[in-house]
């Protein structure tokens, strides 16, 4: 029997439409490990996609670290200057001009300074990079070695516009974001890093996680390896109920139950929880429209967890492998996964599986219902290699339509790409030449499923070692 490298992975799949609160609500009776205690002298780094995420996800952690004698530093990827609706409600006027968007970003920056001062962090331990709110994922995908930087369609700004920020005047491109984040980590040398989750729906949250993975790979051997704690904020139908419920626990969404994530929790004291509530309320520009949502995170605990790194191992061929399937609900159920009577019964679900065979990276989707000819996927594949600067590595995006596909490297369409699509009644498989990916050490990849142009499911970004 011919041997190939195969890893079958039952992945969490996000349902974008037709999902009920029952499907997305938190599942009780999770076995969550406590976050490792902080020590005096430790350096803690909070990476926040926008001003307010650090309070929403980590206000308890911040207080605990400071009380233990650790130093806490916060880096903000953006100033949150793209949230026009919230600002219209807050300022009671329409935002149109460039300088008004910059003003909006300064308002949110000042809110963070006040909120963190309240929690015990001085302003000189806050770093605002000032990159484009709602634009950093597009930069990660498309703007490396670009002739022109990314230009935000709403703000019409293409460079960091905040004069007091360390990155003032930097063009919006991948090299600048990566270099700035890498230099901050190199200078600070954190022991623990708290960062947004790779399965988060918000594009800036996903991109900050991705930029961090590349920065840490580039810094391997130059700084001690920090422990990384991803936190989840944006997820359909979660957390439920909304509004302020300090008596409730914050548990992962039910559809993460078989995701292999080792979730950890931090228990907040009464005073820490009260201070978290107050720190969130410093963000008046956001709570004026979204207090019901933001305060839903002020609960008895905070939550952290990451997918394990996947590593391909020799296995029988795909045809001989027993595979469980995923359904339109997007929930995953592993074969023979234990369930108690107290847990909601998850529907039959399925898998995305990965393989390496004869110089090809294979992505396969299986589902129990017959695939329509209108079923397609969008796959992102970002490869990392120690031998090649990440800016020069391909940024591959594959779009399938039945048995056909289009391949892009950044914004450019790739001709003669060698990618092929297999399409059966219940499965779809994509074979990608590793040469197209420039023979990387590992991949960062995610997948979205569509019926026609309607998104139905998605898989959060996973790190896959292929060597």
Residue 335's pLDDT is 27
Q: Is 310 part of a structural domain of the chain?
A: no
Kindly state the percentage of the chain with pLDDT values over 70: 83
Given 282, 304, 326, the domain boundary residue is 304
Considering the domain architecture, whether residues 279 and 395 belong to the same structural domain is answered as no
Considering the domain architecture, whether residues 229 and 339 belong to the same structural domain is answered as no
Q: What is the mean pLDDT of the chain?
A: 86
Considering the domain architecture, whether residues 267 and 188 belong to the same structural domain is answered as yes
Q: Is 244 part of a structural domain of the chain?
A: yes
Q: Are 327 and 348 in contact (CB under 8 A)?
A: yes
Considering the domain architecture, whether residues 193 and 51 belong to the same structural domain is answered as yes
Residue 317's pLDDT is 53
List pLDDT tens digits, range 336-375.
Answer: 233 333 333 333 345 788 888 888 999 988 887 888 888 9
Whether 426 shows a pLDDT value over 80: the answer reads yes
Q: Give the separation between CA 14 and CA 254, rounded to whole angstroms.
A: 11
Neighbours of 237 (CB within 10 A): 17
Considering the domain architecture, whether residues 297 and 328 belong to the same structural domain is answered as no
Given 255, 274, 304, the domain boundary residue is 304
Q: Which residue has the higher pLDDT, 358 or 116?
A: 116
Structurally, how many domains does the chain consist of?
Answer: 2
Question: Which whole number is the average pLDDT over 43-71?
Answer: 98
Q: Is 28 part of a structural domain of the chain?
A: no
Considering the domain architecture, whether residues 133 and 65 belong to the same structural domain is answered as yes
How many separate helices (H) and strands (E) can be counted in the chain?
9, 22
Q: Taking CA 221 as the corner, what is the angle to CA 62 and CA 303, rounded to the nearest 5 degrees?
A: 25
Kindly state the percentage of the chain with pLDDT values over 90: 66
Considering the domain architecture, whether residues 76 and 188 belong to the same structural domain is answered as yes
Residue 52's pLDDT is 97
Q: Give the separation between CA 63 and CA 73, rounded to whole angstroms.
A: 12
Band the pLDDT of 10: cuts 50, 70, 90: very low
The CATH number covering residue 94 comes to 3.40.50.10320
Band the pLDDT of 192: cuts 50, 70, 90: very high
Considering the domain architecture, whether residues 299 and 320 belong to the same structural domain is answered as no
Q: Which single residue is written with the structure tokens 């005096």?
A: 40
pTM across the whole model: 0.89
**Domain encompassing residue 139:** 33-304
Residue 313's pLDDT is 66
Given 280, 304, 328, the domain boundary residue is 304
Q: Is 26 part of a structural domain of the chain?
A: no
Considering the domain architecture, whether residues 101 and 126 belong to the same structural domain is answered as yes
Considering the domain architecture, whether residues 55 and 133 belong to the same structural domain is answered as yes
Question: Per residue in 271-306, is it b (16+ CB within 10 Å) or e — as a string?
Answer: ebbebbbebbbbbebbbebbbebbbbbbbbbbbbbb
Q: Give the separation between CA 10 and CA 352, rounded to whole angstroms.
A: 6
Considering the domain architecture, whether residues 282 and 363 belong to the same structural domain is answered as no
List the structure tokens of 446: 């995610």
Considering the domain architecture, whether residues 292 and 393 belong to the same structural domain is answered as no
């Amino acid at each position: 029997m011919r041997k190939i490298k195969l890893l079958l992975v039952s992945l969490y799949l996000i349902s974008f439409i037709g999902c009920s609160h029952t499907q997305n609500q938190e599942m009780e009776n999770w076995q969550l490990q406590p976050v490792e205690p902080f020590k005096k002298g430790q350096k803690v780094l909070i990476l926040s996609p926008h001003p307010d995420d650090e309070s929403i996800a980590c206000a308890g952690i911040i207080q605990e670290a400071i009380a233990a004698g650790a130093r806490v530093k916060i880096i903000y990827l953006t100033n949150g200057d793209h949230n026009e609706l919230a600002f219209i409600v807050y300022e009671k006027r329409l935002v149109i001009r460039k300088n008004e968007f910059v003003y909006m970003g300064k308002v949110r920056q000042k809110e963070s300074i006040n909120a963190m001062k309240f929690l015990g962090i001085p302003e000189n331990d806050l770093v605002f990079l000032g990159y484009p709110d709602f634009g950093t994922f597009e930069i990660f995908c498309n703007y490396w070695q670009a002739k022109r930087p990314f230009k935000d369609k709403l703000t019409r700004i293409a460079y960091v516009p905040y004069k007091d920020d360390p990155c003032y005047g930097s063009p919006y491109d991948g090299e600048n974001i990566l270099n700035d984040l890498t230099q901050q980590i190199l200078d600070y040398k954190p022991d623990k890093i708290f960062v947004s989750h790779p399965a988060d729906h918000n594009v800036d949250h996903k991109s900050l996680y991705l930029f961090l993975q590349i920065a840490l790979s580039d810094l391997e051997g130059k700084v001690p390896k920090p422990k990384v704690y991803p936190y989840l904020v944006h997820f359909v139908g979660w957390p439920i109920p909304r509004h302020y419920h300090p008596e409730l626990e914050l548990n992962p969404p039910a559809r993460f139950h078989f995701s292999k994530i080792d979730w950890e929790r931090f228990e907040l004291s009464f005073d820490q929880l009260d201070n978290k509530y107050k720190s969130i309320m410093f963000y008046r520009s956001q709570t004026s429209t979204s207090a019901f949502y933001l305060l839903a995170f002020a609960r008895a605990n905070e939550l952290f967890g990451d997918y394990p790194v996947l590593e391909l191992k020799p296995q029988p061929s795909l045809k001989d492998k027993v595979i469980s399937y995923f359904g339109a609900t997007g929930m995953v159920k592993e074969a023979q996964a234990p369930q108690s009577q107290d847990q909601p019964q998850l529907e039959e679900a399925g898998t995305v599986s990965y393989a390496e065979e004869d110089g090809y990276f294979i992505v396969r989707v299986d589902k129990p219902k017959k695939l329509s000819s209108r079923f397609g996927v969008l796959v992102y594949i970002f490869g990392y290699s120690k031998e090649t600067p990440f800016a020069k590595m391909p940024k591959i995006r594959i779009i399938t339509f039945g048995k056909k596909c289009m391949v892009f490297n950044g914004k450019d369409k790739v001709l003669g790409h060698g990618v092929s699509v297999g399409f059966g009644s219940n499965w779809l498989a994509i074979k990608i030449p590793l040469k197209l990916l420039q023979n990387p050490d590992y991949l960062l990849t995610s997948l979205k499923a569509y019926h026609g142009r309607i998104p139905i499911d998605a898989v959060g970004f996973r790190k896959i070692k292929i060597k």
